[in-house]
Structure 1
Amino acid sequence: MLPVQEYINHFKDIWNNSSEDLPDFHKIYSKEEKLKHEIHFDGFQKKLKELQNVRKVQQLKKDPAKSFFPMFRSFLDTVFDFDSSHLEIILSDEFKDVSKDFFYKAREFAPELSPEDIYQGMRNVWIMNGLQLMAQKPVKITPSVFAYSMIYPYSDNLLDDPEISKEQKVEFSSRFDQRLHGHEINPQNFNEEQLYKLVSMFEEEFPREEFQNVYESLYAIQRGQTNSLKLSPEYGLSDDEICTICFEKGGASVLADGYLVGGKLTMEQERALFGYGVYLQLLDDIQDVKEDSMAFTNTMFSCLEEKHLGKFVNKTIHFGRETLKEMSCFEGTQTEAFIGLMNRSIETMIIESVGLNHLWYDKTYLAELEQFSPLHYSFIRKKRTQGKSQRFALLQKYFDSSREKLAV
């Protein structure tokens, strides 16, 4: 078995020693700078709307990628101030191609899923592509990258669905666990049938006898998912027990990412990936505080009183910065740039999430953190209420343009 408890204890120590003070960020944005960024944001949205014009799309059919990606690059640069080294990764041909590849493969495998569900899986694809980059492996959609990323829309959404009883979730988890262990299980429904097909893709790429730890990592994430079903008030878990479950679930998830990318890892790499996963789990908990509270799900974050939420956010950022240092054990030529991109992206999402969930924080903390946002919090909330998330809208536009090109 993988030393999951050892990794949990290691990152608990880092968490407990992380400061609750407001972190230093790379830049404070003045009101004038925010307004300038918001003008760029609105300008980008206007250009996106122009691309919805049939005549305009017809004009761009011959090369839609060239028309979209320079515009997208400008958006990331002028609105969110991403460094040029980060943009080279995000907008590299490799990353663009794998995103398209995943989108079309997902459409073919699962036409019943919504574009939002596919986007949920794509976020994991990007994590795995980054790990491929750091492990000096080709950045592409392997069978296991595809299968593991598609598990999210099926498994996670079922386990997070408040309309499904805990008994049903436990029974599903038990059957899925048996299938992960290589047993032949009869699927009880279409959802399980799809999941079992995805497990077969792991088995084809990584034979169980040769890659035992690949499957140990899958067992670990399944245990984490199952244990997370206990995150409801009726179980009466202590704060430390809640922390253990949250760390286990998040850490094991990215540990599995690593094994499904490389097949084999050193213990140093295992631990680093586990910590990265814990950091992403804390980000998810900050982003989902409203949903978790309404569903009576006890996370480390949703249990806190308003006066402690800001300190938790600060602590998460300090924890993440310390934890991501361990990722330098990967020796890829772009490892340093990718670590910087990960940290910058996560911190941007944390700052944005605080603004979107402003009713959960005291006004003093909101004012402190908003200094480091390139956009006013009121502007972010207005854009979010207008419809789909901006990230999904951008991707959808690119894929729509790509389909137009293929139709020519």
Structure 2
Amino acid sequence: MLPVQDYISHFIKMWEASSDELPHFQKAYTKEEKLKHQENFDAFQGKLKDLQNVRNVQRLKKDPAKSFFPVFKNFLQNVFDFEAGHLEIILSEDFKGVSKDFFYKARAFGPELKPENIYQGMRNVWIMNGLQLMVQVPIKITPSVFAYSMIYPYSDNFLDDPEIEHSEKLQFSERFNKRLNGHKLPAINFTEEQLFRLIAMFEDEFPRESFPNVYESLYAIQQGQTNSLKMNRQNGISDAEICSICFEKGGASVLADGYLVAGKLTREQEQALFGYGVYLQLLDDIQDVKEDSLAFTHTMFSCLPEAELGKFVNKTIHFGRAALKEMECFDTPNMNDFLGLMNRSIETMIIESVGLNHSWFDKAYLKEIEQFSPLHFSYVRKKRKQSKSQRFTMFQKYFNTNVQEVEIS
């Protein structure tokens, strides 16, 4: 058995020891710098429209500088100030083809899925691609990378659907857990049929007898998801239980990512990946505070009073920096660049989430944290109104029906 409870206890202690004071950031942005970044953002959106216009395809092929990746590099550099070492990782040749490969595989596997469902899985692909880099295996869509990333659009959406009865969700979790443990069950609905096909992909790549911890990690994430159902019920769940469930669900998810990439991990690597997953879960809770509150979902963040929300954000950043420090146990070339990229990306999303959920924070904290955003919070909110998710919009534009016609490299 994987020592999941030990990892939960370890990171709860790290959380409790984390400061709730405003963290130190490398750069604060002036009003003029923010306006310049916003101009660059608007220019990037204009260039994306060119990439989406079929009539421009031949012209774009003749001018590689205007194809997607050079434009995207400019965006990351001139809007969000990613460093050269970060860009080398994001835009390496290894990473360029995997997103498109996943998209077409996902569309073939689940033609009923909407683009936003596939994007949901794509976010996990990017995490697993990063882990492939860390454990120094080829960066590609393996059967297990594909299968685990596709589980999210099916299982998570089923468990999160407010229209489905709690008892039905428990039955689903029980049957899914049995299948993860190797029991051959007949599928009773379409969701189960798809999920059981995905589990078979794990079994083909990682035989159960040779890779037992792969399946222990899958059981751990399923157990975490099942326990998280308690957070959707008004049953007097304690703050300590909420914290434990939050850490279990997030940590187990990335631990499973690691096992499905590497097959085998050391105890130190297990713990580091678990902490990375906890950090990503805290990010999700900050991003989803409005939705969680309206749905009466208990998270560590959604139940806090306004005066405490800023302290929670500060604490999350301090915790994340300490948790990512443990990732140094992976002996990877350019590990500092990789960890810097991870930290920069997550902290950017945390600060953006504060700006998007501004009505939940007191004005003093908003003014304090906005200094470290490359964009004005009002601009971020305006862009979000134009599109529910700017990242998803980029995904749609990149993978529109004409993508095969566009030269992107």
- Match of residue 155 from structure 2: 155
Aligned partners of 2:110, 2:64: CA distance in 1, in Å?
A: 26
Cα offset, 1:232, TM superposition? 3.1
Cα offset, 1:55, TM superposition? 1.8
- Match of residue 385 from structure 1: 385
* Structure 2 counterparts to residues 343-382 of structure 1, below 5 A: 343-382=343-382
Structure 2 residue 115 is the aligned partner of structure 1 residue 115: yes
Cα offset, 1:46, TM superposition? 1.4
Three-state SS of the structure 2 residue aligned to 1:235 is: coil
Aligned partners of 2:143, 2:54: CA distance in 1, in Å?
A: 36
- Match of residue 329 from structure 1: 329
Structure 2 residue 403 is the aligned partner of structure 1 residue 402: yes
Three-state SS of the structure 1 residue aligned to 2:19 is: coil
Question: How has the CA–CA distance of structure 1 residues 133 and 347 changed in structure 2, closer, same or farther, with 3 Å as cutoff?
Answer: same
Aligned partners of 1:290, 1:29: CA distance in 2, in Å?
A: 27
Quick check: 2:147–2:201 contact (8 Å CA) kept in 1?
yes
Quick check: 1:134–1:334 contact (8 Å CA) kept in 2?
no
Structure 2 residue 182 is the aligned partner of structure 1 residue 210: no
Quick check: 2:4–2:248 contact (8 Å CA) kept in 1?
yes
Cα offset, 1:83, TM superposition? 0.7
Structure 2 residue 42 is the aligned partner of structure 1 residue 33: no
- Match of residue 124 from structure 2: 124
Quick check: 1:61–1:404 contact (8 Å CA) kept in 2?
no
Aligned partners of 1:187, 1:270: CA distance in 2, in Å?
A: 32
Aligned partners of 2:368, 2:137: CA distance in 1, in Å?
A: 41
- Render the CA deviation track for 1:243-271: whole Å, top value 9, x for unaligned: 00000000000000000000000000000
Three-state SS of the structure 2 residue aligned to 1:2 is: coil
Q: Which amino acid aligns with 2:260?
A: L
Cα offset, 1:299, TM superposition? 0.3
- Render the CA deviation track for 1:289-332: whole Å, top value 9, x for unaligned: 01101111100000101110000000000000001000000011
Aligned partners of 2:66, 2:147: CA distance in 1, in Å?
A: 30
Three-state SS of the structure 1 residue aligned to 2:18 is: coil
Three-state SS of the structure 1 residue aligned to 2:268 is: helix
Question: How has the CA–CA distance of structure 1 residues 65 and 293 changed in structure 2, closer, same or farther, with 3 Å as cutoff?
Answer: farther
Cα offset, 1:339, TM superposition? 1.0
Aligned partners of 1:35, 1:350: CA distance in 2, in Å?
A: 20
Quick check: 1:211–1:263 contact (8 Å CA) kept in 2?
yes
* Structure 2 counterparts to residues 184-223 of structure 1, below 5 A: 184-223=184-223
- Render the CA deviation track for 1:169-215: whole Å, top value 9, x for unaligned: 10110110011011111111111100000000000000000100000
Q: Which amino acid aligns with 1:402?
A: V
Structure 2 residue 256 is the aligned partner of structure 1 residue 270: no
- Match of residue 340 from structure 1: 340
- Match of residue 285 from structure 1: 285
Cα offset, 1:371, TM superposition? 0.3
Cα offset, 1:393, TM superposition? 2.1
Cα offset, 1:395, TM superposition? 2.5
- Match of residue 16 from structure 1: 16
Aligned partners of 2:112, 2:9: CA distance in 1, in Å?
A: 41
Quick check: 2:51–2:406 contact (8 Å CA) kept in 1?
no
Question: How has the CA–CA distance of structure 1 residues 42 and 145 changed in structure 2, closer, same or farther, with 3 Å as cutoff?
Answer: same
Cα offset, 1:107, TM superposition? 0.9
Cα offset, 1:399, TM superposition? 2.6
Three-state SS of the structure 2 residue aligned to 1:164 is: coil
Three-state SS of the structure 2 residue aligned to 1:231 is: helix
Aligned partners of 1:250, 1:283: CA distance in 2, in Å?
A: 10
Q: Which amino acid aligns with 1:237?
A: I
Aligned partners of 1:170, 1:155: CA distance in 2, in Å?
A: 12
Unpaired runs of at least 5, structure 2: none
TM-score, structure 2 as length reference: 0.97
Q: How many residues align?
A: 406
Question: How has the CA–CA distance of structure 1 residues 317 and 378 changed in structure 2, closer, same or farther, with 3 Å as cutoff?
Answer: same
Name which of structure 1's ranges 45-54 and 163-172 shifts more when overlaid on structure 2. Answer: 45-54
Aligned partners of 2:64, 2:188: CA distance in 1, in Å?
A: 43
Cα offset, 1:62, TM superposition? 6.7
Quick check: 1:221–1:253 contact (8 Å CA) kept in 2?
yes
Three-state SS of the structure 2 residue aligned to 1:223 is: helix
RMSD over aligned CA atoms reads 1.4
- Match of residue 310 from structure 1: 310
Cα offset, 1:58, TM superposition? 4.0
- Render the CA deviation track for 1:130-182: whole Å, top value 9, x for unaligned: 11101011111110000000000001111111111111110110110011011
* Structure 2 counterparts to residues 72-151 of structure 1, below 5 A: 72-151=72-151
Question: How has the CA–CA distance of structure 1 residues 203 and 66 changed in structure 2, closer, same or farther, with 3 Å as cutoff?
Answer: farther
Quick check: 1:65–1:398 contact (8 Å CA) kept in 2?
no
Question: How has the CA–CA distance of structure 1 residues 155 and 349 changed in structure 2, closer, same or farther, with 3 Å as cutoff?
Answer: same
Quick check: 1:228–1:245 contact (8 Å CA) kept in 2?
yes
Cα offset, 1:96, TM superposition? 1.1
Cα offset, 1:64, TM superposition? 7.0
Three-state SS of the structure 1 residue aligned to 2:97 is: helix
- Render the CA deviation track for 1:340-364: whole Å, top value 9, x for unaligned: 1111100000000000000100011
